[in-house]
């Protein structure tokens, strides 16, 4: 069978990894796919660099539209990123009847509904394994391996940059700003790391996993997004003393009322495997009603790990090219005509309706009755306390200090009730600083 012809849009880190791995493993990949996979064209603004990477093996052009216009190209691999030109090119490639492989989580999380609809109308595939957790085959696992299950929840460390920063803060007792600079120096964090540290990148990935897990449309606009910029090494240390690690988790959960979709720092019991995922590694835990809890771990970024996911998609497409679209695995795991209705039955819940437990650190005047007032306000809001610890005043404020930190762990409660109670507690004259509130996930 004729090798499938691939055009790469962008040959940076992931594109060059894709080219090298396809070359190195071409014989084994051909045996798996049943036909060869050839990168025939590469478009990149830096044509000199692109030519250095591919040599004579592929035609290099500066204009991505030349790739899309070439009738010989069967699959377009979009590795440009972002919502701008990448969106236009993906839609043009689909309109030209090309299958598309993309690592672009931002694009699919925000414009996925439009893109998948266009692809369905044209009878082409849009594959995106590389968009979530890099080399970990989590899309395949959720969409195919766990297809028997009613999935209950998914929780993942799906941003390596922030996990690296949190690991360093814990290991070295350093503050966020110091570690961020180090991460940039080492090349882990982008020069503009906003999407990573503010949780946006993780929310794009969680949005995609939510859609596949529950058969609902992609709804990034309804995700709750909170990053790690306000975390202190003090809270990381206290959490550690209480038997928890703080991780930036992307969480999506099915409840009676709808779907939770949220990204925020979370205390996770140290005894959970996912709490021990350190550095830039990623991990995703999926709980299905039949299978129970499963864990997927690996590199969430990098040249060849991400190329591994891109090529897996290319192999799927090479096998299914020319097949009846009705016989293919649906792009979002569920048949497209069922998504909207499921989205209405399972709306994404506002954060006020999310139920979780909390770590609170409250800086108070170290005097009689302070703790009683706080616990009374929590009790009035129906919030049950799991544990209370008071730090030594000297440890918190230095010798002779009359301030101290109260650390309170709560049982599950509605976020809206917690917001109300915290506003009241914050108003007490004996509460001396903004309260730190970090959500806690037992993941059991």
| 264 and 198 Cβ atoms separated by less than 8 Å | no
Give the Cα separation of 425 and 427 in Å (integer): 5
Q: How far apart are CA 91 and CA 73, in angstroms?
A: 15
Longest dimension (CA), the chain: 82
Task: Tell me how far, at minimum, the Cβ of 66 lies from ligand HSE, in Å.
Answer: 27
Tokens of 48: 């000199």
Provide DSSP, 84-118. Answer: SHHHHHHHHHHHTT-EEEE--HHHHHHHHHHHHHH
Element (H, E) at 364: strand 355-365
Measure the N-to-C terminal CA separation of the chain; round to a whole number of Å.
49
Cβ proximity to ligand HSE, 98 vs 245, nearer residue = 245
Choice between 298 and 300, CB closer to ligand HSE = 300
Cα gap 284→156, rounded to integer Å: 4
Q: Which is nearer to ligand HSE, 7 or 134 (CB)?
A: 134
The structure tokens listed for 63 are: 């204009």
Q: How far is the CB of 38 from ligand HSE (least distance, A)?
A: 26
Q: How far apart are CA 198 and CA 48, in angstroms?
A: 35
Stated as kind and residue range, the H or E segment containing 267 is: strand 259-269
> What phi and psi values does residue 137 have, to the nearest 5 degrees?
-80, 60
The minimum distance between CB 189 and ligand HSE, in angstroms, equals 7
Minimum distance between the CB of residue 197 and ligand HSE, rounded to whole angstroms?
A: 10
Using the minimum distance from each CB to ligand HSE, give the nearer residue, 156 or 215: 156
CB 202 within 8 A of CB 105: no
Shortest Cβ 160–ligand HSE spacing (Å): 4
Burial 253-288 (b: 16+ CB within 10 A, else e): bbeeebbbbbbbbbbbbeebebbebbebbbbbbbbb
Q: Is 59 a catalytic residue?
A: no
* Of residues 348, 351, 418, 352, the one with CA closest to residue 383: 418
Residue 374 backbone class (left: φ over 0; alpha: ψ -120 to 50; beta: rest)? alpha
Residue matched to tokens 């925020």: 264
Nearer to ligand HSE, 198 or 321 (CB): 198
Give the shortest CB-17-to-ligand HSE separation in angstroms. 13
Cβ 205 to ligand HSE shortest distance, Å: 7
Burial of residue 115, with CB atoms counted within 10 A of its CB: 0-12 exposed, 13-18 middle, 19 or more buried: buried
Closer by beta carbon to ligand HSE, 288 or else 298: 298
Question: Residue 159 or 252: which CB sits closer to ligand HSE?
Answer: 159
- Closest contact distance (angstroms) between CB of 23 and ligand HSE is 23
Task: Return residues touching ligand HSE (CB under 6 A).
Answer: 159-161, 196, 201, 300-301
User: Which member of 87, 205, 222, 299 is catalytic?
Assistant: 205
185: Cα within 13 Å, side-chain hemisphere: 6
Structure tokens at 268: 């996770």
Active-site positions read 205
């Amino acid at each position: 069978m004729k090798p499938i012809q691939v055009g790469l849009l962008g040959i940076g880190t992931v594109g060059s990894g894709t080219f090298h791995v396809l070359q190195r493993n071409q014989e084994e990949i051909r045996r798996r796919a049943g036909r060869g996979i050839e990168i025939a064209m590469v478009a990149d603004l830096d044509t000199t660099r692109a030519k250095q990477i591919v040599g004579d093996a592929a035609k290099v052009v500066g204009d991505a539209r030349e790739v899309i216009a070439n009738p010989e190209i069967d699959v377009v691999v979009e590795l440009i990123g972002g919502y701008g030109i990448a969106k236009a090119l993906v839609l043009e490639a689909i309109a030209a009847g090309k299958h598309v492989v993309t690592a672009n989580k931002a694009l699919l999380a925000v414009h996925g509904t439009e893109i998948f609809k266009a692809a369905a109308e044209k009878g082409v595939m849009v594959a995106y394994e590389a968009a979530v957790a890099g080399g970990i085959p989590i899309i395949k696992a959720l969409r195919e391996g766990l297809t028997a299950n009613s999935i209950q929840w998914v929780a993942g460390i799906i941003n390596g940059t922030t996990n690296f920063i949190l690991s360093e803060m814990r290991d070295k007792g350093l503050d966020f700003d110091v570690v961020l600079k180090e991460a940039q120096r080492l090349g882990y964090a982008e020069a503009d790391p906003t999407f990573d540290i503010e949780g946006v990148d993780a929310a794009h990935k969680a949005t995609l996993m939510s859609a596949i897990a529950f058969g609902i449309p992609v709804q990034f606009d309804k995700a709750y997004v909170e990053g790690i910029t306000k975390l202190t090494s003090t809270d990381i240390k206290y959490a550690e003393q209480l038997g928890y690690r703080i991780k930036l988790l992307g969480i999506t959960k099915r409840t009676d009322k709808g779907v939770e979709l949220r990204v925020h720092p979370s205390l996770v019991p140290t005894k959970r495997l996912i709490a021990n995922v350190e550095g830039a590694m990623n991990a995703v835990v999926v709980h299905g009603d039949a299978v129970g809890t499963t864990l997927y771990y690996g590199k969430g970024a990098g040249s060849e790990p991400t190329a591994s996911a891109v090529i897996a998609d290319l192999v799927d497409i090479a096998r299914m090219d020319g097949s009846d679209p009705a016989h293919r695995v649906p792009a979002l795991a569920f048949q497209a005509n069922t998504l909207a209705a499921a989205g209405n039955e399972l709306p994404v819940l506002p954060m006020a309706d999310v139920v979780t437990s909390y770590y609170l650190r409250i800086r108070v005047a170290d005097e009689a009755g302070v703790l009683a007032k706080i616990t009374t306000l929590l009790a009035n809001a129906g919030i049950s306390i799991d544990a209370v610890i008071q730090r030594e005043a000297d440890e918190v404020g230095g010798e002779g200090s009359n301030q101290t930190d109260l650390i309170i762990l709560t049982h599950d409660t509605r976020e809206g009730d917690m917001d109300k109670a915290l506003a009241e507690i914050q108003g007490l004259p004996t509460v001396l600083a903004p309260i730190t509130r970090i959500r806690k996930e037992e993941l059991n």
